[in-house]
Structure 1
Amino acid sequence: MGNSFAGIEIGKRSIQAHTVQIQTAGHNISNADTEGYSRQRVIVKSFEPIYRPDLEREMRPGQLGQGTDVESVTRIRDELLESRIVAQENEETYWETRNNYYSMIEQVYNEPDEISVRYNMDKFWEGWQELSNYPESDAARQAVVTRGESLTNSIRQQFNSLKSIRNQINGDIEATVKQVNDYSRQISALNAEIVKSKAVGDNPNDLMDRRDLLVEKLSGLINVTVTQRDPDEFMVHTDGQIIVQGAVNRQIGFAPQDNDSGYSKLVWTDTNADAYFRGGSLGALVELRDKDLRAQLQSLDTMTLNFADLVNDVHRNSVGKNNVTGLDFFVQHDFVENVNGNYDSDGDGVEDSSRIFRITGNNALKAQEQTGLAGTMTFNAGAETVSVPYYPTDTVEDVINRINDSASEVKAYLDRNNSLVLKASAASDASNPDFVIRHVEDSGLFLAGYAGILSQSGEAGAFDWNRADAVNSLAGAQFAVSPLRNPSAYVEVNPSIVSDVSSVASAYANGQGFADASDGRAAVELAAIRNTKVMIGKQRTFDDYFADTVTEVGLKGEQAQNQLASQNKIMDDLRSLRDSISGVNIDEELADIIKFQHGYNAAAKFISVQDALLDTLINRLGV
């Protein structure tokens, strides 16, 4: 005979199962707006039946069901979809960060006309043009000085604005690194708690939701992938590096960069190896600071340095109204005081390198004249060197263009005396200083004899910056010491000229060494610099510089905006799909509560019936 109390047990289990289901539905409703929460469902199964020999039939064993039981409470979650979201999150935040900062950079170049560098430079050239027409006028000279001051003020203002954005990015990098470290610590701590919970047979849904949310937030800061080959070891990777492994996490720190930028690089604190991130907001911030903003400042410095150098070259060889000559119009600050550019690079007290910006050959050349020479010139280029060949049928202009079109960081042009000038450009490798000629070599005679720059051809006559007095390898060529870093930060009109505008030179010395009152030839030459192909770098004129710079910033801003819109659409679709699977639907949960309530009531009624049956059996049987 079966157990008389089996029905009570069945009803009790049913009540317990429906109670868990109602509580789980209530838990879902209460967390409907909780970030990262996945709705939970109760998995129920029939309780193990009892075997009854007296119910045996042919072809069918006899069993009695024992009601229901709660097997588990699980999260409703699509793991493949979650991995796609984690993989895409860093792309969205990467372009969002770039879009935000390029909006700020664009504002720097979209200044009102009266304070923009382009507007003030146009006015500066117009001032020289006016002085060329009225070389005896002090008012015209005052206009040149005042417009020169306005120009230098706008250049410094643009530098400070770009530098301020770069400093702001650096602050964001420091804050973001703290967030990455904090998230990795929290994920590893949750891993430990989850393993402990699973070890005793529990299903820690809320802890796993919290961990998944932290991983998603981390993926917005850096590009990460998640693996769990071992059920007890949840791992987070970034660019081939492990950042979280079970209960262990790695931290990101800072170390000085191998340059004089004043900023720190990212390193792993446990190995001190460099830490690189391709995506996420941290990857975008580092790229903006060390590439985009560095390139913008280098471009401004290049324009400023060469602009001031070209103006000074004409002005110092001209004569002012007061017959003063030899004055630079703009102040330039040399990197070192040593006249040969000698510098102590390792700080041991011994000069071991040379910092030279410009080398001017001794010989006057003709641009369209064929050289009749063959050989290969070698110049510094990034961390390596680049070779530039020349042939007998090449004209001087062909050779110059080949140098400028190469990847070398040495550029060339013919100056006002038709002498070949070699100038250093900004360095592509951040570990190298800007505006320093590091290597010049010629296997033939173009630089050695024809242009009058090197004293001899071959390796023995090469100019190399890794030694003091490297200028001794020059064939008596003129040279200029490299400028102090960021010339656009300190450029200004010579105070001697500001205090006496009659020192503004508009003429060339006559036979007696004085200036004729009606001579405006120097002013004409200065005004002509505006449209002369004299810029150093990819841009050939100053107008090219302004056009290319604004275009580049605008296109990169447009790219960031378009890519962000595309990534937003992708992520909106993925998140909407996740919400449809894992999100809490209040109406659905309320409907489930009503269903579970009816089940609970039915189970209670079943227990009442069983109670009445037992009462009849115990108290009334035989009466």
Structure 2
Amino acid sequence: MTGIFSTFNTAKTGMFAQQQAISTSSHNIANANTQGYSRQRVNFQATPAFCLNGVGMVGTGVDIQSIERIRDTYLDIQIRYETSISGQYQARQEILEQVEMIFMEPSDTGLNTTMSAMWDSWQELSKSPENSTARTIVLENSLTFTNNLNHMHQQLETLKNDSINILEKTALDANSILKQIQSLNDQIFKVTIKGQIPNDLLDQRDLLMDQLSQTMDFTVTEDEFGRVSIENKEITLLDGKNGNNISNEISIVREIKQTDTGYTITLVRGGDSIQGLTTLSIGEEDLASHSFLQEGAIVYTPKIQEGSEISFSDIKEFTVAHGELRGYQDIIKELTDYQEQLDGLARAIAYGVNMIHTNNNEEGCIAFFVGAGDTSDINQINAGNITINSAIQKDVRLIYTGKDLNGLEGDGERALAIAQLRNARLPVQDFIDEIDKATESSLYDFDEMIFEDSPGGTTFETYYKDIIAKLGISTQQANRMVENQNALTSQLMQRKYSISGVSIDEEVANLIQYQHAYQANAKVISTLATMLDTLINRMGV
């Protein structure tokens, strides 16, 4: 029914509604600089009217329908996708810049310069083979070259191990974020099931998912109670629908070592290098059947209780398309490739020089280049251990210069052949494999002391320059992608802020509007009080 007291209630609902609107604007202003906060808006709704006979429906006031977050879900998906790509290339850029510092090309002290100096010294030795100083220069320049190779290989190994450590920390952060989202899922469920909207909790969870997108790509689904499930392709990382469980965790393969009986795998479960460090022993066939198991590989393992153990069959491949995890995983493989390419260069030079220097291992001759323990086994020589035979380091007279290994006076033909090896066009990376496939005579001419040019082969200098070119292209691509992604994500974030961000000017304008509405409703009550006073005290009763 209508009347003064009914109108009192109408004005009261107006005051309460405007008061809540003022409180919401105050909350927005207070969180104007809070990371991840989305501005909130009060949605008003007229209260149910009643029917007045002969008149129609009469309003009864206002009620708050909801307090909603202003957020564009589709824009969130776009930002997370682009952020994951940005994270991938930022990780690559960070490591590739350090790789460039290791190679230091072009440079007066780089490997290419020291390699050229080595070949030049052999050329000079061929002109004066009886000169002890020329032999010493060959030794010293060759040692400089091998020491440079050793140092580069070790630096790449150190950088690879550092990258694996960073990858472990990144996996640990990802697992930690998933646990925090799991906790927020529980809190959101308890609020949502009461019919309320936990706006601030939703903001916190969205912020965590934004941070997770820097690490990896994923898809999100939400149930009717606001709980989210997070999946990566076919793998469920967080099952919000069925018990809000985390059944799998992201793990990293730290190291794979060969043993007498097979291999040992050092696994960092959940990225926890203390509690999650696990060592498994496997056979050669098992490792071959799991080609994804490499140092720095990202896998997922079942989440087990502390003190429990996992088996080799529990380790599954975890495919990441984008994000820091993908970036660090790719760069670890690339660092391994650079090491293998330097190994190929070291073995090819060692094989070529030793073949000429010893006349194909003629009895009584010693190799010029050796590996650890003075081994001349070419399969045991790599960029990390190549050096000059210790016997030659002690006595430079053991450097063979003439075609006759007995050393005819003034004969520098063998030294010249070694110097000319720099111009041979050989399949450097597959040089040793090519030797194994062919007969010696088809590759090396003993009489002329030269290697025949191989179709599609390259010189040692060109081979090394190709490595540098590949590194430069990779770094340039990473720099370009980081720059492009930063520009793109910046534009998307600006759109997001224009929608979800708090505008102080807008909130102050809203405050004035709500204040005036509140005062107007208060004026209605004051008017009604005056009407009651007239009715009660001035009717002459």
TM-score by length of 2: 0.81
Matched, 1:482 2:480: no
CA distance in 1, matches of 2:219, 2:236: 10
Question: What is the CA-CA distance between 1:577 and the residue it aligns to?
Answer: 1.1
Structure 2 equivalent of residue 461 of structure 1 = none
Structure 1 equivalent of residue 351 of structure 2 = 309
Question: What is the CA-CA distance between 1:331 and the residue it aligns to?
Answer: 1.8
1:248 counterpart letter in structure 2:
N
2:157 counterpart letter in structure 1:
K
1:288 counterpart letter in structure 2:
I
Structure 2 equivalent of residue 327 of structure 1 = 366
Q: Deviations over 1:153-186 (max 9, x none)?
A: 1111211222222122111101100110011111
Q: Is the 8 A contact 1:319 1:506 kept in 2?
A: no
Runs (4+) of structure 1 moved beyond 6 Å? none
Question: What is the CA-CA distance between 1:615 and the residue it aligns to?
Answer: 2.5
Structure 2 equivalent of residue 369 of structure 1 = none
Question: What is the CA-CA distance between 1:509 and the residue it aligns to?
Answer: 2.7
Structure 1 equivalent of residue 291 of structure 2 = none
Among residues 415, 421, 431, which one is paired with 1:523 in the alignment? 415
Question: What is the CA-CA distance between 1:87 and the residue it aligns to?
Answer: 2.0
2:492 counterpart letter in structure 1:
L
2:324 counterpart letter in structure 1:
S
CA distance in 2, matches of 1:282, 1:147: 42
Question: What is the CA-CA distance between 1:481 and the residue it aligns to?
Answer: 6.5
Among residues 155, 158, 164, which one is paired with 1:161 in the alignment? 155
Structure 2 equivalent of residue 41 of structure 1 = 41
Question: What is the CA-CA distance between 1:535 and the residue it aligns to?
Answer: 4.1
CA distance in 1, matches of 2:112, 2:152: 11
Matched, 1:248 2:245: yes
Q: Is the 8 A contact 1:334 1:481 kept in 2?
A: no
Question: What is the CA-CA distance between 1:619 and the residue it aligns to?
Answer: 3.5
Which moved further from structure 2: 68-77 or 303-312?
A: 303-312
CA distance in 1, matches of 2:236, 2:373: 46
CA distance in 1, matches of 2:158, 2:96: 13
SS of the residue 2:317 aligns to: coil
Q: Is the 8 A contact 1:87 1:225 kept in 2?
A: no
1:332 counterpart letter in structure 2:
G
Structure 1 equivalent of residue 286 of structure 2 = none
CA distance in 1, matches of 2:507, 2:458: 70
Q: Deviations over 1:173-212 (max 9, x none)?
A: 0110011001111111111111111100111111111111
CA distance in 2, matches of 1:231, 1:13: 30
Q: Is the 8 A contact 1:325 1:505 kept in 2?
A: no
Structure 1 equivalent of residue 528 of structure 2 = 610
Q: Is the 8 A contact 1:132 1:506 kept in 2?
A: yes
Q: Deviations over 1:433-469 (max 9, x none)?
A: xxxxxxxxxxxxxxxxxxxxxxxxxxxxxxxxxxxxx
Question: What is the CA-CA distance between 1:40 and the residue it aligns to?
Answer: 0.5
Matched, 1:588 2:485: no
Higher-helix-fraction structure: 2
SS of the residue 2:33 aligns to: coil
TM-score by length of 1: 0.71
CA distance in 2, matches of 1:218, 1:330: 50
Matched, 1:298 2:347: no
CA distance in 1, matches of 2:323, 2:253: 21
Matched, 1:621 2:539: yes
Among residues 60, 67, 73, which one is paired with 1:79 in the alignment? 73
Structure 1 equivalent of residue 275 of structure 2 = none
CA distance in 1, matches of 2:360, 2:85: 57
Matched, 1:546 2:464: yes
Question: What is the CA-CA distance between 1:96 and the residue it aligns to?
Answer: 1.7
Structure 1 equivalent of residue 99 of structure 2 = 105
Q: Is the 8 A contact 1:46 1:68 kept in 2?
A: yes
Question: What is the CA-CA distance between 1:69 and the residue it aligns to?
Answer: 0.8
Question: What is the CA-CA distance between 1:309 and the residue it aligns to?
Answer: 1.8
SS of the residue 1:73 aligns to: strand
SS of the residue 1:48 aligns to: coil
CA distance in 2, matches of 1:230, 1:268: 29
CA distance in 1, matches of 2:161, 2:92: 15
CA distance in 1, matches of 2:163, 2:539: 88
Residues 141-152 of structure 1 correspond to what in structure 2 (within 5 A)? 141-152=135-146
2:475 counterpart letter in structure 1:
G
SS of the residue 2:474 aligns to: helix
Q: Deviations over 1:71-100 (max 9, x none)?
A: 110011111111111222211111222122
Closer, same or farther in 2 for the Cα pair 1:256/1:160, shift >3 Å? closer
CA distance in 2, matches of 1:481, 1:121: 19
2:392 counterpart letter in structure 1:
I
Q: Is the 8 A contact 2:123 2:419 kept in 1?
A: yes
CA distance in 1, matches of 2:79, 2:532: 58
SS of the residue 1:70 aligns to: strand
CA-atom RMSD, angstroms? 2.5
Among residues 219, 222, 226, which one is paired with 1:228 in the alignment? 222
CA distance in 2, matches of 1:253, 1:88: 24
Question: What is the CA-CA distance between 1:3 and the residue it aligns to?
Answer: 4.4
CA distance in 2, matches of 1:539, 1:285: 32
Q: Is the 8 A contact 2:130 2:409 kept in 1?
A: yes
CA distance in 2, matches of 1:172, 1:67: 60
Closer, same or farther in 2 for the Cα pair 1:500/1:279, shift >3 Å? same
Structure 1 equivalent of residue 519 of structure 2 = 601
Question: What is the CA-CA distance between 1:316 and the residue it aligns to?
Answer: 2.3
CA distance in 1, matches of 2:364, 2:138: 17
Among residues 496, 500, 513, which one is paired with 2:391 in the alignment? 496
Question: What is the CA-CA distance between 1:232 and the residue it aligns to?
Answer: 4.6
Question: What is the CA-CA distance between 1:264 and the residue it aligns to?
Answer: 5.1
Question: What is the CA-CA distance between 1:272 and the residue it aligns to?
Answer: 2.7
Residues 169-568 of structure 1 correspond to what in structure 2 (within 5 A)? 169-228=163-222, 230-246=224-240, 247-249=244-246, 250-255=248-253, 263=295, 265-270=297-302, 271-289=314-332, 291-317=333-359, 325-333=364-372, 482-483=379-380, 487-509=382-404, 514-537=406-429, 540-568=458-486
Unaligned runs of 5+ in 2: 259-264, 267-294, 303-313, 430-455
Question: What is the CA-CA distance between 1:225 and the residue it aligns to?
Answer: 1.6
CA distance in 1, matches of 2:370, 2:493: 58
SS of the residue 1:598 aligns to: helix
Q: Is the 8 A contact 2:41 2:70 kept in 1?
A: yes
SS of the residue 2:66 aligns to: strand
CA distance in 2, matches of 1:2, 1:508: 122
SS of the residue 2:67 aligns to: strand
Closer, same or farther in 2 for the Cα pair 1:481/1:518, shift >3 Å? closer
CA distance in 1, matches of 2:361, 2:212: 65
Report the number of matched residues. Answer: 466
CA distance in 1, matches of 2:395, 2:235: 64
CA distance in 2, matches of 1:482, 1:318: 16
Closer, same or farther in 2 for the Cα pair 1:132/1:329, shift >3 Å? same
Question: What is the CA-CA distance between 1:64 and the residue it aligns to?
Answer: 2.3
